[in-house]
Amino acid sequence: MEHSPRTAPPETGRRPENSKPSWLKVRLPSHSNYFEVAEKLRGQRLHTICQSARCPNIGECWSERTATFLILGDVCTRSCGFCAVTKGIPQPPDEDEPRRVAEAVAAFGLSHVVLTSVTRDDLSDCGASAFARTVAAVKDRNPGARVEVLIPDFQGQEQALEAVIAVRPDVVNHNLEVPERLYPHIRRAPAFYHRSLGVLSLAKAKGAVTKSGLMLGLGESEAEILQAFSDLRRVSCDLLTLGQYLQPRRDLASVNRYHSPEEFKQWRLIALDFGFRAVEAGPLVRSSYHARRMAEGLSGGFQA
């Protein structure tokens, strides 16, 4: 695919200093809905990526009674260099978790549900069957609710991905994260870049609506961002999120540059020129930010 006719946005952000720029500051949660969601999640013994990944939008989303459920525990088997999720040896899967997630969805009255997980390389199917059971439980308990899955790469196992696709989630999200050159910088093998594109390609071939996301601010060049857009469109990725990388801990990758809201607006327009059906872009945008709104703009779901 040819590059977008739009030019890359001029740099209006800035290099990291002792404090974050004003556009990255968020208010502490104060809405009663936030505390109600927190209480119900504790009561159901459920995890969210909002908490585990220290998402800056937790106050906004929980106040609107939305949350991204984190299944298969809160301990990841990989040590990526950008993520705040706890690394180590996880517990065995909780067989009752799909039911509790479905009940929580009903309690919150959600019309769009996002399910994600830690990476479980310790399991033979990398957790795909747990995704399938949870999607099925949510749909059975909540007829009419859309279910979006944000999945790991399942080590490239086609059978694992097919098990998830078989229960027909409404959106299949898998993040590319960064351009290919930066994979070693985030402690991922460069080959994983193409593995992730393969996951999206297979999901699309099976008829799914596909989605991916990129973090900006780790030292990527304009040309590399454009190449990532092109690579995602080459596998017919439908939806895209673009957000600012924020260093969650000192031992993880540092921020190279803070992109301004104006730059994100321009990158969104460029991405739309590449043919994405919807793009959410901004300094605080994360994978499931405004997920319902993005999905509502689509006509139809599975094409197979």
Q: Which residues pair with 278 in a beta bridge?
A: 239
Mean pLDDT of all residues belonging to the chain: 86
Lowest mean pLDDT among 43-57, 126-140, 263-277, 286-300: 43-57
| Domain ranges across the chain | 40-296
What are the strands, taking DSSP E only, across 137-238? 146-150, 171-173, 210-216
Picking from 88, 49, 90, the residue whose alpha carbon sits closest to that of residue 72 is: 90
Return phi, psi of residue 109, to 5°: 65, 40
* Contacting residues for 124 by C-beta, under 8 A, at least 6 apart: none
Please state, in angstroms and rounded to a whole number, the distance separating the CA atoms of residues 49 and 253.
19
Q: What is the 3-state secondary structure (H, E, C) of 255-267?
A: CCCECCHHHHHHH
**Where residue 39 falls among pLDDT bands split at 50, 70, 90?**
low
Q: Which amino acid is at 44?
A: Q
**Nearest C-alpha neighbor of 237 from the set 196, 271, 209:** 209
Q: Label residue 45 by pLDDT band (50, 70, 90).
A: low
- Whether this model's pTM surpasses 0.75: yes
Task: Say which DSSP state 77 is in.
Answer: S
User: Which CATH superfamily, name and number, covers 40-296?
Assistant: Aldolase class I (3.20.20.70)
The predicted pLDDT at position 163 comes to 97
Whether 111 has a pLDDT exceeding 70, the answer reads yes
Task: Read off the pLDDT band of 298 (50, 70, 90).
Answer: confident
One-letter amino acid for residue 68 of the chain:
T
| 72-86, 148-162, 210-224, 262-276: least confidently modelled range | 72-86
Q: Count of CB atoms within 10 A of residue 189's CB?
A: 10
